[in-house]
Homo-oligomer: A and B are copies of this chain.
């Protein structure tokens, strides 16, 4: 017997309607390439989305069409986040940091019909354009209405199209399972894989993120998603902030520490979101210049493991809470967030930091389990490691037009294989020890590269560190540490790093890396993770 509750589809238009009706005077602020700021309200956003829907129809965009965006974080990108799914089309966010080959592959695999591109980014698209047969038109988003010189064709200008468009609201009724967005993950092996979100998954992810113990975002917050809108929906912020009614601040293309601090101060940012690299750079800047962080209280840091030392530094030196977030593009992306439980309130600060250094508590509407190589569920004891599997209404059941990758990552009983090695404990905390493929097998024992990196990054004078395996005839594999010293620091030396580690790692995790290499920087992937594929290549060629 069915309940008698409304058949109310969970769609993205509902998020926009709420922003318009309940938070119409709240601001969306964007830093433009000129450095000037653009500001308008959610009420204005709604009006422009209505127009943009009519523009899209005029351009021939049909429900189900994939439409690319190639852009920084700003209000026009936000308008596309709503207009495309609300008219039934698919918002396809293209990662501007990918190689030309990967971008071509992705646009052709998705068969994008149109691409919306920042004026400052047209040069990056031009070399590919000839090889993108499905793209019928490029729409340039400019600040001044002036089309840049470009070979992209045919070409239109965003503001000119909007200026001519009707503002008549015409939102079709869509079933909640309708596709709303597409984002490719750039695996370290093989071709990028497409994650096709549904309206329902985005809506549920939004509610989930709004819960107090997940992100705990409130209307009283001013949010700054430094994480790019081409990276896993900017962790959901374009939808989360609007549904919650937060003032939203977009940094545009200038993510330098001084620019971020100025923005945090002037716009009264309370809550920021980004990858460790950004905050590591900010931390160095803060230590040097000691500027005020204004009203900033919390930061969600994710995308790769957050060093414990960074959490400690921000809290003790600057009074800012770092909430570690773990997730995946395939999870929309939230999986867990680092929170203390009530019983931990009177724990020592150091013990609390130990908890906060984990990936956090499983988010609501996410289920997890850890399995061994035979697929057997492991105990929730904080010790038994294995591959982390996840399940939930905002998690992929497959990749877009990619049955091989789907078969590889979805278990027969419907769980998604994350490829992460993890433990779960009796309090529902997940601790990610490594990517399965980044584990180091040495002398019959598994060494977590992430744990070793974390330990090295707590060594005085170290800015960053990455650890990868080098094949070894005797030990099977041996860890190699790539270390970046803090600017101006001549220490540590290799011996200092090894001495520092030997006090921290258990005997069975020896041998420690005797191979410590000091480098200027650690190569990163397009989404800011350490690129260990490149490091392994450097090792071989060295």
Residues of A in contact with B (beta carbons under 8 Å apart)? 1-8, 10, 14, 17-18, 21-25, 63-64, 90, 175, 177-180, 195-201, 204, 207-208, 210-213, 216-220, 243-245, 247, 332, 339, 341-343, 345, 361-362, 364-365, 367, 380, 391-400, 414, 416, 424, 426-428
Contact = CB atoms under 8 A, between A and B. Distances in A.
B362 A4 contact: no
A210 B218 CA distance: 12
Nearest to A210: B211
A427 B207 contact: no
A465 to B, nearest CB: 32
B212 A6 contact: no
Of all A-B residue pairs in the complex, the 8 with the closest CB atoms, nearest first, are A3-B198, A22-B428, A210-B211, A5-B201, A1-B64, A8-B393, A207-B207, A3-B179
A4 B195 contact: yes
Nearest to A199: B3
Contacts of A364: 18, 207, 210, 243-244
A218 B207 contact: no
Contacts of A213: 210, 218-219, 244-245
A207 B200 contact: no
Contact of A211 (B10, B17, B211, B398): B211
6 contacts: A5-B177, A21-B424, A22-B428, A204-B207, A243-B364, A244-B364
Contacts of A195: 4
Nearest to A218: B212
Contacts of A414: 6
Contact of A5 (B200, B207, B361): B200
Contacts of A14: 365, 367
A249 to B, nearest CB: 14
A216 B24 CA distance: 22
Given A212-B210, A216-B212, A178 B6 contact: no
A10 B198 contact: no
A196 B5 CA distance: 7
A394 to B, nearest CB: 6
Contacts of A345: 220
Given A14-B365, A25-B426, 5 more contacts: A1-B63, A17-B367, A22-B428, A207-B208, A211-B211
Given A3-B196, A6-B392, A393-B6, A342 B219 contact: yes
A247 to B, nearest CB: 8
A219 B341 contact: yes
B210 A4 contact: no
A5 B198 contact: yes
Contacts of A428: 18, 21-23, 245
A47 to B, nearest CB: 15
Contact of A3 (B8, B21, B200, B218): B200
A113 to B, nearest CB: 13
A25 B427 CA distance: 8
Contacts of A212: 210-212, 216-218, 244
A5 B397 contact: yes
Contacts of A247: 342
A244 B198 contact: no
Contact of A207 (B211, B392, B399): B211
A412 to B, nearest CB: 14
Given A21-B380, A207-B211, A213-B219, A8 B396 contact: no
B207 A6 contact: no
A380 B24 CA distance: 11
A397 B4 contact: yes
Contacts of A6: 391-393, 395-397, 414, 416
A442 to B, nearest CB: 33
Contact of A4 (B64, B243, B244, B398): B398
Contact of A10 (B64, B196, B393): B393
B8 A361 contact: no
Contacts of A399: 4
Contacts of A218: 212-213, 216
A124 B526 CA distance: 69
A334 to B, nearest CB: 13
Contacts of A179: 1-4
A178 to B, nearest CB: 6
Given A218-B212, A362-B22, A180 B3 contact: yes
Nearest to A198: B3
Most interface-central of A216, A219, A399, A426 (chain B CB within 10 A):
A219
B342 A5 contact: no
A382 to B, nearest CB: 13
A493 to B, nearest CB: 44
Contacts of A392: 6, 8
Contacts of A180: 3
A198 B4 CA distance: 7
Contacts of A196: 3-5
A5 B339 contact: no
